[in-house]
Structure 1
Amino acid sequence: MKKIMFYINTIHKGGAERVMINLADYFSRQGYKTILVTSFRDTGEYTVPNAVKRITLEEHEIKQSKLKRNITRIKKLRKFCKDEKPDILVSFMVEPNFRAILATWGLPVKNLISVRNDPNKEYAGRVGHIVGKYLLPFADGCVFQTKEAKNWFPKRLQKKSRIIYNSVKEDFYHVERHPVPGEIVTCGRLEEQKNHALLIAAFSKVVERYPEARLKIYGEGSLCGKLQKQIDALGLHEKAFLMGATNHVEKVLETADVFVLSSDFEGMPNALMEAMAAGVPCISTDCPCGGPRELFGDELKMQLIPTDEDALAAKMAETIQLPVTGKMLLGSKMKDRAAQFTPAVVNQSWREYVECLS
């Protein structure tokens, strides 16, 4: 029986965090001794499966300088690696990735890192460039989500890497659709990256032609107040709604007529993948690092638009006015594309790669 250790900063609500929890659960069910390490405990955490051992470097987040914080956590992570003796350490995100490499240096522990977002953003600046171009290639392996992200890194890392998509829960493939005409939905944190301001501005143009249209934005974040002011200023308070967070996205997708992703950049957007799996007609910005473009493929590339208000408004209006049969066909094509990221397909890819490395 092999032992696998996963490491991420926190497991509060988020796409990468959910993926890691699901992977830890999968490997534990496959007979691996499985450990999940976080940097600290946080509020709103995902539930850790009973079969997965939970370890945290800090019970509560310790406030230190960035340099001291990283040194402290690297030392603690290295100690846990020595004590637990995993065969492989899997890490997600920027800081956990370079900590994992340094913590396992000289130990008989393989390290498998994963880049979860646009490297132009995650590894920006001089220090980020050094980490991405010179330190990360020392990893034993790396999982990327898109070809564009993979191509950012040196050939040395690319040669020992794999591209593996996120998986989508089976529940989303079995959503019973009862779409409400004109109901436009999006899900995502209310932060700059998601560019909900663009979506709201574009929607204001859509309702001029289709007064029955409604926009529902699910998620929480620091821009809630600012986005509500934008909605009010555009006179959309009865047509556009900030719905808050939801733990039942599959229910949201039952009535969605159209799903829109308006992000400035993404890794592999879970919300878009879930909507595709449910068979919802989707629209997305063609944002770096190429996730939506890979998800849609050539067959659905007409649903990609530039990060532009007029282009988004035109595509939303075009999709809304499709006849019912046209929307059903588009949704069916979305679901067909989603077959490549079922849990069975994705989990098997991870297991094959982990066993190849360890």
Structure 2
Amino acid sequence: MKLFFYINTLSYGGAERVISNLATEMAVRGHDCTVVTSFPCEWEYSVGLEVKRINLYPNKLEGNRLIRNIKLIHRLRRFIHSAQPDLLVTFMGEPNSRAIPATIGTKTKVVMSVRNDPKREYCGKLNILIAKYIMPFADGMVFQTEDAKQWFPKKIGNKSIVIFNPVDKLFFDIKRSESPHDIIATGRLTEQKNHSLLIRAFAQIADQISDNLYIYGSGDSSKLEELIKTLGIENRVFLPGVSKNIPEILSKAKLYVLSSDFEGMPNALMEAMAVGVPCISTNCPCGGPKSLFTKDMYHFLTPIGDIDAMSCRIFELIQNSFQREAHGKTCKKAAMAFVPDSVNDQWEKYLVGIR
């Protein structure tokens, strides 16, 4: 197959990591793959040598949103006319909305992937219209959870599939430390990730435990730093920024915590599970953590925004080494559902069927 994978950028983010890995794997399997981005970024996830790269524009477009989207659609359409791929595979809201107009009148089929909670990703009258009346013209749709699938019209659901994200083998293969320490969180420093909830939950028990809290991720840390200072835990909570050595960091972690208000499929949580780190997560929409956890793990799903519940679960696992070790093993076992070979097999089979 000749495949175009389109996303706005390959910069930091779960969807960006997944699409770069997926394109690389499909190329290794003998397919002709090109990753298309709207514009380049200073730092990007890498793709395999066999994967071609296209940037629609050399720099991020500014100005009127309508004009900006028209330009991107026109440029994407031009590349599609030239290369004539069998399939255009798009990730995220904006690229999904551009896919249909970019392929009208061509032989290229469209497969869209919804990567976040659709109630938030497609909010607003225009985005709802696009999701309900334009996106159903896609030839296929890949969801991460059943909850996300149910938000869309049945016309989409009948030609869609739910596929978990693949997690790099590095996370499965790395050996856990025999003396793990500290609580780890990873993810962009945005309101969606609600790291402030985790910081407040940690503050409630900080004087009862010896482990510190480390939150890795890119973004503006000023508000979190102010909160940490206000709570008087500057020597216990750290914001190291982005790390390229997450597998090793997780291998030494005593706990991993996800505190998001909403997620599509939380890659960071999946990576921690693959390493075998005992994990705690908010039960956030659109059902990602609940889909990843087996029923015997639901005890470690906490309500969104509930500081006390999260604090209790953290303290419970920190204090009980037997329970913590057992939960880590359960997380590792559940992670077998997203071993990369299995997930990539599902993607390939689905894309071949669409073509």
> Over residues 1-20 of structure 1, what are the superposed CA-to-partner deviations in whole Å (9 max), with x where a residue is unaligned?
x2111111111121101111
What is the deviation of 1:179?
A: 5.7
1:182–1:320: 8 Å Cα contact kept in structure 2?
A: no
2:21–2:47: 8 Å Cα contact kept in structure 1?
A: no
- Alignment pair present for 1:200 and 2:229: no
> Over residues 18-59 of structure 1, what are the superposed CA-to-partner deviations in whole Å (9 max), with x where a residue is unaligned?
111111111111111111111111111122321111111101
**Partner amino acid for 2:160?**
S
Q: Runs of 5+ in structure 2 lacking a partner?
A: none
Partner of 1:227: 224
Partner of 2:18: 19
**Partner amino acid for 2:194?**
N
Cα distance in 1 between the residues matched to 2:172 and 2:44: 25
How do residues 55-94 of structure 1 correspond to structure 2 at under 5 angstroms? Answer: 55-94=54-93
What is the deviation of 1:326?
A: 2.5
What is the deviation of 1:336?
A: 0.6
SS at match of 2:150: helix
What is the deviation of 1:182?
A: 5.3
SS at match of 2:3: strand
Cα distance in 2 between the residues matched to 1:131 and 1:146: 20
SS at match of 2:115: coil
**Partner amino acid for 1:313?**
S
- Alignment pair present for 1:292 and 2:319: no
Q: Runs of 5+ in structure 1 lacking a partner?
A: none
Partner of 2:216: 218
**Partner amino acid for 1:106?**
G
> Over residues 269-325 of structure 1, what are the superposed CA-to-partner deviations in whole Å (9 max), with x where a residue is unaligned?
0110000000000000000000000000212111100120111101110111112x3
**Normalising by structure 1, what TM-score?**
0.97
Q: Aligned match of 1:319 in 317, 320, 323?
A: 317
Cα distance in 2 between the residues matched to 1:316 and 1:232: 21
2:202–2:213: 8 Å Cα contact kept in structure 1?
A: yes
**Normalising by structure 2, what TM-score?**
0.98
2:112–2:140: 8 Å Cα contact kept in structure 1?
A: yes
What is the deviation of 1:345?
A: 0.7
1:175–1:253: 8 Å Cα contact kept in structure 2?
A: no
Partner of 1:265: 262
- Alignment pair present for 1:43 and 2:53: no
Cα distance in 2 between the residues matched to 1:271 and 1:338: 12
- Alignment pair present for 1:256 and 2:273: no
**Partner amino acid for 2:312?**
A
Fraction of identical pairs, as percent? 47
**Partner amino acid for 1:218?**
Y
- Figure out how many residues of one structure are paired with residues of the other and give that number: 354
Runs of 4+ in 1 over 6 A off after TM superposition: none
Partner of 1:306: 303
2:184–2:253: 8 Å Cα contact kept in structure 1?
A: yes
- Alignment pair present for 1:244 and 2:260: no
What is the deviation of 1:122?
A: 0.3
Cα distance in 1 between the residues matched to 2:5 and 2:313: 41
Q: CA RMSD in A?
A: 1.1
Query: Against the structure 1 CA distance between its residues 113 and 84, is the aligned structure 2 distance closer, same or farther, given a 3 Å change threshold?
Result: same
Partner of 1:165: 164
- Alignment pair present for 1:120 and 2:119: yes
Partner of 1:340: 337
What is the deviation of 1:64?
A: 2.8
- Alignment pair present for 1:275 and 2:272: yes
